Chains A and B, each alone.
Chain A
Amino acid sequence: MRAANCEVVVLRNEKQAENILLLTALWDASTPAPKAGQFYMLRAWGADEAPLLSRPISLHSFDPELREISFLYEVKGTGTEKLAALGTGDHLQLTGPAGNGFPIEGKKVALAGGGIGTAPLLQLAKELKNAGAEVHFFAGFRDEPYRLAAFAAVCDNVQIATDTGRVGHHGFVTDLLDPEQFDVVYTCGPEIMMEKVARMCLAKGVRVYVSKEAKMACGLGACLGCTCKSKNGGVSVCKDGPVFEGSVFYG
């Protein structure tokens, strides 16, 4: 289904940790249902207001029954600051669902997230559980973890690493992950972490999916601003991705 554009109403916009918010909106049921790994272009400001471009944010969680769609985001610059200023009842423009999303595969799978890269993994965990998989969640944070209760409610196992040692393992998430124990590994986080996870998996012959980020203008595959070099030549992060087999980049 191709992306649609709609205006939705914000139900809640709640702080989760320092600079991390969870925005929940009323889903417009006339638009295509999103799936894990897809994203939307968000805009909480006028077409004629700065910043010029809308901001890509992943689907964090989707509940068609409650008609709730949520986004977990980190406040980084002007765009996300404007999202953070939204309150209940405010309006938000969404363009999406965009991108390919995660394929749902494997009987015993690991999700490896780094910081705000954990955002798309909650919906992924839900979809994998619905498909009957055993889901192990590994996440690394700088200092303060977030959304752990939501992950714990869905996943079979949750393991945390922090750079500061505040919670869980004092070190990197890659210290916790043994790819050989899983059929499939899904990862999203800082580029350096995804590369490490992907290489660990590929070295052991374990299938791995990465969710890439790139600056983008349209989110629809129209402007070619987010093209990345891969083994298969130039790929659009927004249209061919954001989810790719790790071997496409790190093989």
Chain B
Amino acid sequence: MADLRVNLCGKTLQSPVIAASGTFGFGVEYENIVDLKKLGAVSGKGLTLEGKYGNEGERLWETPSGLINSIGLQNPGVQHFIDNELPQMLQLGCASMANLGGSTIETYEEGARLLDKTDIDFIELNISCPNVKAGGIAYGVKAESAREVVSRVRKCTSKPMIVKLSPNAENIVEMALACEEAGADGLSLVNTFQAMAIDLEKRRPVFHNVFAGLSGPAIRPIALRMVYQVCGAVKVPVVGLGGIATARDALEFIMAGATAVQVGTANFMDPKACEKIADGIAGWMDAHGVKTLDEIRGAARV
């Protein structure tokens, strides 16, 4: 029998499959659909210190094998999350990750201080939300600004801190190295690609903010390339994501060197996607006589 457990930043996850932030609520929404014990963790909806309404106008747009979203970090705020959603999240049967975004470094710091006092397992620092003006994106593009926010937040928490990277970074490897040096315990990549769509009838961009974030299978091969590059450069564990929809996809990221994977948009294509991917990985391992993922992690690296 395949052993799906993986060690992520010192914590044992029961499987390498993590539900990606923004696609899985705070996990409870799926408790009657997915056997959450088969997941390694759930990364909750992106939080900011103060609650946010999110973006105006169109929020979703389908593309061939992809989805462009402009949610804009709608969330109840960190303290509301701690008081209301976190208690249920801690009962899901898998590890929990709080995804923390921000606008100024001070709001990141304050959010991290609040989360540090809770029982959440991981903090996923989102320096890459493309949908918030002056929020995250600047930190996600320039390695030096990322270094600053990560090192400042690092001082506010002793939780395992995973920094979520944007594919829109000027140079993904430099970005990864800067975050590692600034104290990240792990990295997750990639967030959505900046994209757009145009409404022909209105002759205007579909999205109020003009640009929005593309996810889904359409981005997977590029995400895989970036994960491969980053895994070759850093020592901290890497969580791979970007369009993963099947066990085969997940195994590709693991063979590229990822410790674990996140599944996002696929949850909308099949609400059982996370569970099926975990089962599929186990099935593949059994069929190939692979007992633990350590045996194949990075196996495809040349």
Q: Which residues of A contact B (CB under 8 A)?
A: 1-5, 32, 41, 47-48, 50-54, 93, 95, 215-218, 220-227, 229, 233-234, 239
Contact = CB atoms under 8 A, between A and B. Distances in A.
Most chain B beta carbons < 10 A, residue from A32, A47, A224, A229: A224
Contacts of B270: 47, 93
Contact of B62 (A2, A51, A229, A234): A51
B33 A53 contact: no
Contacts of B268: 52-54, 217-218, 223
Contacts of A234: 53-54, 74
A221 to B, nearest CB: 5
Given A50-B65, A224-B54, A239-B29, 10 more contacts: A2-B33, A51-B62, A215-B58, A218-B267, A218-B271, A222-B23, A224-B59, A224-B74, A225-B71, A227-B53
Contact of B25 (A220, A226, A233): A220
Contacts of B65: 50, 52
A229 B246 CA distance: 36
Contacts of B265: 52
Contacts of A48: 217, 245-246, 269
Query: 7 closest A-B pairs (Cβ-Cβ)?
Result: A222-B25, A47-B270, A2-B32, A220-B29, A225-B60, A47-B269, A217-B268
Interface of A is mostly: loop
Contact of B24 (A52, A222, A226, A233): A222
A217 B53 contact: no
A3 B32 CA distance: 6
Nearest to B73: A224
Contact of A215 (B59, B66, B217): B59
19 contacts: A4-B33, A32-B32, A47-B273, A48-B245, A50-B62, A52-B65, A52-B66, A52-B268, A53-B269, A217-B69, A217-B268, A218-B23, A218-B271, A220-B25, A220-B33, A221-B25, A225-B59, A227-B54, A234-B54
B31 A95 contact: no
B211 interface: no
Interface in B62-89: 62-67, 69, 71, 74
B64 A50 contact: yes
A47 B245 contact: yes
Given A48-B245, A223-B22, A233-B53, A5 B271 contact: yes
A222 B29 contact: yes
A32 B64 CA distance: 33
Interface string B216-245: 110000000000000000000000000001
B44 to A, nearest CB: 10
Nearest to B74: A224
A52 B63 CA distance: 8
A126 B246 CA distance: 42
A226 B25 CA distance: 13
A54 B268 CA distance: 7
B45 interface: yes
A4 B32 contact: yes
A229 B45 CA distance: 19
A42 B217 CA distance: 21
B272 interface: yes
Interface in B19-36: 22-25, 28-33
B172 interface: no
B288 to A, nearest CB: 23
Contacts of B45: 222, 224
Contacts of A1: 32
Given A50-B65, A218-B23, A225-B60, A2 B31 contact: yes
